[in-house]
Amino acid sequence: MNFLPSKDKFHIFPNNEDKHSTYAIHSALSFYAIFGGHPDSVKLAIIHIPITTTQKETFDSIVSAYVGHPPYDYAFFGMRCGAATYEVLAQLGFFQKYSYKKTSRKIFYPRRLRKRLFKMAQKNNWQIIRKEGTNHRKWEKD
């Protein structure tokens, strides 16, 4: 499941009256093809987070609720992919819950979430899979 702008549109500031957002479910292959190129050549980092049965049930209910009816607008100064991921993980108990506005400020770009997740993974001995991929797409100084 991932959060993205609908119809390749987004707002600069959130507009909950006319949301330009969607949650979508992708296979791993189609997810890594979102930005174009070949899925086999993208840079990736996968963190395997063990969850309880209760967390899995909560996640399934979040997926059911969010796919087709996202709770917030996709906006540059608002919720985007990193903040939306943080918000879901907070509902599962991995992070402190904040308002949408505060979440979007704290996780303004994906690197802020990645750093937290890598730190948690090392602390909890979670499996991390990394692949360097092509030089065409760079992450923020990672």
- Residue 66 pLDDT > 60: yes
The pLDDT score that the predictor gives to residue 139 is 59
Q: 18 in a domain, yes or no?
A: yes
pTM, full prediction = 0.85
Q: 76 in a domain, yes or no?
A: yes
**Each residue of 112-130: pLDDT tens digit?**
999 999 999 999 999 999 8
Q: 89 in a domain, yes or no?
A: yes
- Residue 3 pLDDT > 90: no
Closest to 4 in 3D by CA, of 65, 70, 98: 70
Q: 24 in a domain, yes or no?
A: yes
Its domain, for residue 121, covers: 2-131
Query: How many domains, the chain?
Result: 1
Q: 29 in a domain, yes or no?
A: yes
Q: 140 in a domain, yes or no?
A: no
- Residue 105 pLDDT > 90: yes
**In whole angstroms, what separates CA 37 from the centre of its chain?**
20
**Residue 42 and residue 134 in contact, taking contact as beta carbons nearer than 8 Å:** yes
The pLDDT score that the predictor gives to residue 54 is 97
**Each residue of 9-57: pLDDT tens digit?**
778 888 888 888 888 898 877 777 776 767 777 788 899 999 999 999 9
91 vs 2, which has greater pLDDT? 91
Average pLDDT, the chain: 87
Q: 37 in a domain, yes or no?
A: yes
Closest to 87 in 3D by CA, of 26, 27, 2: 2
Q: 14 in a domain, yes or no?
A: yes
